[in-house]
Chains A and B, each alone.
Chain A
C-alpha cells in the first residue's frame, strides 16, 4: 500500500484506524497455535493498517479504495478459528468488523431475525430468549463467534442435527462486494446466497443477515456411557433414527474422559468406553414422549448406561467450553475432521494405531451435525515453548487429517493452513467452480487473498507432504526420549 493511501485511511477513520506495531501484531494471529517465527518465515501476516468501520457505508468506501489501489483486505470479527481465515497473508488492511453489531428486527410472523454480522451468537441467543425465541443452531464457540463469521465457515454445530446447516436457515444477506458495491441477496435470487456459505470472507464482507428462528422450548438432556466405539456408533445411529430427532448429539472418547477426569473437570466417574450426550428440545409433552422412548430403548440395549440427569445437564452447560482441555497443555494441537458417522469406529481405530506408533495420546470428541455426518476434533498436548519438539508435534496434525481422509473425511474449514488439503475438500469440478466464481467477483484477488482457492507455494501439497512426513519420521524416532 502506498503512503498516500495509508494516510488517507488514517485521516478518514481517525482513532478507528491504527498502524501501531503492537496492534497490528495482535491482528496477525487467531487461535492457531502456530509459532510467530514460523508464520513470519512463510507469510506477510502483519497488516499495514487495521481499521474499524462503523457502518456498511464505511465498509463500502474502504473497499472502493482497496479495489482501486489493489490493496488486500482481510475481514475479521470474533477471530475464533484456527485456520488463519481472518489473518492476512499478504499484509494490506485488516478490517475489524466488531462495530457492525446489533439486532435490526424480529419478524414474528415469518419467524426470522435480521441481525448485523458481528453480533455474537451468545448476544443473539440472549436477546431472542428474552422474547421467548431461540436460534435454531449455534456454533460450539457461540459466546465469541459472530453470525457473519459462522456463515463464512461451514456453519455446523449444536442444533444442526435437527435444523440443518446455518446456510439452510438464512433467508437474506447484505454484502459489500470487493468493488465496494452493496448488494442484497435472498434465497430465491440468482446468484444465490449459497455462494457466501463457507466463503471465508473471500467474496465480500457480509454486513447483515436475516435468518430463521424457533420458539424457545424446554430441553431434556441425556448422558450415556457405552463400553466401546462400536457400541457408540450403534447408539448414535439409533438416536438419529428414532421418531424424535435430537437437537444435538455429542461424542467423546475414553482419552477425553480420562483427561478431563485427571484435570478435575469431569462430572462422571468412568475413564473408559465412550460418552454420548443426547439433547432434545420441544414441548413438555414431546419431551415426556422422548423420555418414555429412551426408557424403552434402554431396555433393549443393556450395554447402554444412562448417567444421572444432573451430570447430563452439567455436560450441556459446558457445551461451549471444550477448549478447557487446554489446561492439560499448555498447548494443544489438533485437527477437525468432517466425516461420515458410519466410519467413526474405523477412524478411531486408525487414531489408536497412530497414537501407538508415535507414542502420543490422542483425545477425540465431536458433534453429530447431520444424520450422516459428524465433525470430529482430535487433539494432542504439546508445548510451544519447546520450538523443535513443537514443530515435530505439528506433523501429527497432518497424520490426524490423513486418518480422517482414509475414513472418508476432510478438514472442516480451509483458511490458510488447510489449503494443502484443498483437493480433499473439493473435487475437480467443485474447485473449478469456486475458482471461477472468485475470479468473477474479485479479479484482482484483494478480498482475503491466499485463502481457500490455491495452496500458497510454501504450503503446496508436495512440499507440505514431504516436510510433514520427514518431521513425523523424526518424531517417531525420538518419541521414546520424549
Chain B
C-alpha cells in the first residue's frame, strides 16, 4: 500500500475538504467503542465545518466539546483518510479553538495549572524530578552537567509516578552498563509540552519546548534519548524551530538500545516466553518507529514474538492517549478492554510496550480481565535479560 503524507492547511479548509467518506470510522477506537456518528472523525469534522467554515457558532455546544475531547490523538484516522487530511493537527487546532472560548474541559485546566506552577503534569515540585534515582548506586552523573555525550529526557510520568519510574531506573542501568556517558536535565527538565498541545494550549506548550531546547544547548549535548514516545515525538518533530540549526540527534530508547545490541555493547540472555508487542501510537504510527522494539525482542534467545491482530501502522490505541483519561476515564477503560482482548487472542504470556502510559493502562486492563499475562516496558525487559 502506498504511504500518504498527511496535509494540513487550515481548520476551515480541511473541514470542507473532508469528503465524509467514513474511511476513518473503522480505524477509530473511540467510534468503535461509543458507536454514534458524532464519535466518528468524519462526524466531528462535519460539525467543525458547520461551526468554523460555515460560521454556525451556535453549534459549539457542550456535547460537541465533549466529543472533541473524546479522542486519543492516536492518528489512526489520519492514516486512513482518503483526502490525506492531517487529522492529528486538525484535532489539536480544534481543541485550541475550543480553549480560546473558555469551554475546554475542566481536566484540561487542572493540567494546565499544574504545568504552569510545577513545570510537570503533577502537583509535585519540579526539584523532585530526580527522586526516582535515589535507589541507584550512583546518581551524581544524572544531575544536569556539561560534558556528557547523551541526555536522557526522562519525561513527567517516569519521573514522578512510582510504577513508571521503574522505566527510568531501567534506562539508567542499561545506559550505565553500556558505558554511555549520559546525564539528565534534572530539575531543569520541564514537561515536553505534549500534554499542553494535546489540550489545545499550543502556545503554552511552545514555551516548554523552547525551555528544554535552551537547556540542551547550554549543556552542549548533541544526542538526546527519550523513553516516553510523546516526549520523543516532540523532540523529533516539534523542536526543530527552536534548535535553529543546532545539531541534535534524537533517539527513542528502543532505537538506542537496538544500536547498543547491534554494536554488541549489551547482550541479552535467553527467556522461554511468548511475547507480544503493543505499538505505542506516538512511537509507531505517529513517529514511524516499528522495527527497533521488535529487533530488541527478537534478540532475546528463545523468545517467541507473536504479533497482535492490529499491529504497526494499524495498531490499536491502548486508550490512554490524547489526555482522554483526564476527561473520560471510563472510555479509556473501554478502549483498553478491546486491546486486552487482542492480547488474550495472541496467546502471549508477556505483553511488552515502549511507553509508560500504555504500560499503565494495559496493566489495569489486563488485571481487570484476569489475564495471566505479565505487562512490561521494553526497558524493564532488557534490564531483566541483560547479561551483566
Residues of A117-137 at the interface with B, using a CB-CB cut-off of 8 Å, are 120, 122-123
Q: Please indicate the chain A residues that have their CB under 8 angstroms from the CB of B22 in the complex.
A: 78-80, 144
Q: Which of B12-20, B96-104, B327-335 contacts A (4 or more CB under 8 A)?
A: B12-20
Q: Please indicate the chain A residues that have their CB under 8 angstroms from the CB of B61 in the complex.
A: 22
A67 within 8 A of B: no
B1 within 8 A of A: yes
Q: Which of B31-39, B201-209, B356-364 contacts A (4 or more CB under 8 A)?
A: B31-39
- The answer, among B21, B35, B43, for a CB contact under 8 Å with A99, is B35
Query: Is there contact, CB below 8 Å, between B84 and A384?
Result: no
Residues of A286-317 at the interface with B, using a CB-CB cut-off of 8 Å, are 314, 317
Q: Please indicate the chain A residues that have their CB under 8 angstroms from the CB of B25 in the complex.
A: 78, 144
A22-B35 in contact given A31-B20, A31-B21 (Cβ < 8 Å): no
Q: Which of B46, B59, B84: most chain A CB closer than 10 A?
A: B84
A330-B17 in contact given A22-B63, A143-B23, A324-B82 (Cβ < 8 Å): yes
Query: Is there contact, CB below 8 Å, between B16 and A98?
Result: no
A330-B16 in contact given A80-B21, A143-B26 (Cβ < 8 Å): yes
B83 within 8 A of A: yes
Q: Please indicate the chain B residues that have their CB under 8 angstroms from the CB of A52 in the complex.
A: 35-36
A144-B21 in contact given A23-B36, A96-B37, A323-B82 (Cβ < 8 Å): yes
- The answer, among A18, A31, A36, A385, for a CB contact under 8 Å with B19, is A31
Query: Is there contact, CB below 8 Å, between B53 and A385?
Result: yes
Q: How many residues of B contact A (CB 8 A)?
A: 31
Show the binding face of B for A, using Cβ within 8 Å. Answer: 1-2, 7, 13, 16-17, 19-23, 25-26, 35-38, 43, 46-47, 50, 53-54, 59, 61, 63-64, 80, 82-84
Minimum CB–CB distance for B277 against chain A, Å? 20
Query: Is there contact, CB below 8 Å, between A320 and B20?
Result: no
Query: Is there contact, CB below 8 Å, between A26 and B38?
Result: yes
CA distance A23 to B53 in the complex (A): 19
Query: Is there contact, CB below 8 Å, between B84 and A327?
Result: yes
Q: Please indicate the chain A residues that have their CB under 8 angstroms from the CB of B35 in the complex.
A: 16, 52, 96, 98-99
Q: Please indicate the chain A residues that have their CB under 8 angstroms from the CB of B46 in the complex.
A: 26, 29
- The answer, among A27, A30, A321, A331, for a CB contact under 8 Å with B16, is A331
A20 within 8 A of B: yes
Q: Please indicate the chain B residues that have their CB under 8 angstroms from the CB of A324 in the complex.
A: 82-84
Q: Please indicate the chain B residues that have their CB under 8 angstroms from the CB of A23 in the complex.
A: 36-38
CA distance A257 to B22 in the complex (A): 25
CA distance A332 to B20 in the complex (A): 12
Query: Is there contact, CB below 8 Å, between B36 and A323?
Result: no
Query: Is there contact, CB below 8 Å, between A329 and B36?
Result: no
Query: Is there contact, CB below 8 Å, between A26 and B21?
Result: no
Q: Please indicate the chain A residues that have their CB under 8 angstroms from the CB of B50 in the complex.
A: 36
Query: Is there contact, CB below 8 Å, between A384 and B2?
Result: no
Residues 346-388 of A, flagged 1 when their CB comes within 8 A of B and 0 if not, give 0000000000000000000000000000000000000111000
Query: Is there contact, CB below 8 Å, between A327 and B37?
Result: no
Query: Is there contact, CB below 8 Å, between B26 and A321?
Result: no
Query: Is there contact, CB below 8 Å, between B80 and A143?
Result: yes
CA distance A80 to B20 in the complex (A): 8
Query: Is there contact, CB below 8 Å, between A327 and B54?
Result: no
Residues of A250-296 at the interface with B, using a CB-CB cut-off of 8 Å, are none
A389 within 8 A of B: no
A171 within 8 A of B: no
A120-B26 in contact given A22-B63, A23-B38, A318-B2 (Cβ < 8 Å): yes
Query: Is there contact, CB below 8 Å, between B26 and A26?
Result: no
CA distance A123 to B80 in the complex (A): 14
CA distance A282 to B13 in the complex (A): 43
CA distance A29 to B18 in the complex (A): 14
A326 within 8 A of B: yes
CA distance A120 to B25 in the complex (A): 11
Q: Nearest B residue to A314 by beta-carbon distance?
A: B2
Query: Is there contact, CB below 8 Å, between A122 and B26?
Result: yes
Query: Is there contact, CB below 8 Å, between B47 and A22?
Result: yes
Minimum CB–CB distance for A315 against chain B, Å? 9
CA distance A99 to B82 in the complex (A): 24
Nearest 8 A-B pairs (CB), nearest first?
Answer: A330-B16, A144-B22, A26-B37, A317-B2, A143-B23, A323-B19, A321-B82, A323-B82
Q: A78-B22, A317-B1 are in contact. List 18 more A-B contacts (CB 8 A).
A: A16-B35, A18-B36, A23-B38, A26-B37, A26-B46, A26-B47, A31-B19, A50-B36, A123-B26, A144-B22, A323-B19, A327-B17, A330-B13, A330-B17, A384-B54, A385-B16, A385-B53, A385-B54
Q: Please indicate the chain A residues that have their CB under 8 angstroms from the CB of B38 in the complex.
A: 20, 22-23, 26
Q: Nearest B residue to A37 by beta-carbon distance?
A: B54
A248 within 8 A of B: no
Query: Is there contact, CB below 8 Å, between B20 and A30?
Result: yes
Minimum CB–CB distance for B308 against chain A, Å? 14
A326-B19 in contact given A26-B47, A27-B37, A123-B26 (Cβ < 8 Å): yes
CA distance A120 to B16 in the complex (A): 25
A112 within 8 A of B: no
Q: Nearest B residue to A122 by beta-carbon distance?
A: B26
Residues of A30-64 at the interface with B, using a CB-CB cut-off of 8 Å, are 30-31, 36, 50, 52
CA distance A158 to B13 in the complex (A): 31
Q: Nearest B residue to A18 by beta-carbon distance?
A: B36
Residues 431-454 of A, flagged 1 when their CB comes within 8 A of B and 0 if not, give 000000000000000000000000
CA distance A381 to B23 in the complex (A): 22
CA distance A36 to B38 in the complex (A): 17
Q: Please indicate the chain B residues that have their CB under 8 angstroms from the CB of A114 in the complex.
A: none
Q: Nearest A residue to B3 by beta-carbon distance?
A: A317
Q: Nearest A residue to B50 by beta-carbon distance?
A: A36
Query: Is there contact, CB below 8 Å, between A26 and B63?
Result: no
Q: Nearest A residue to B32 by beta-carbon distance?
A: A98
CA distance A383 to B16 in the complex (A): 9
Minimum CB–CB distance for A85 against chain B, Å? 14
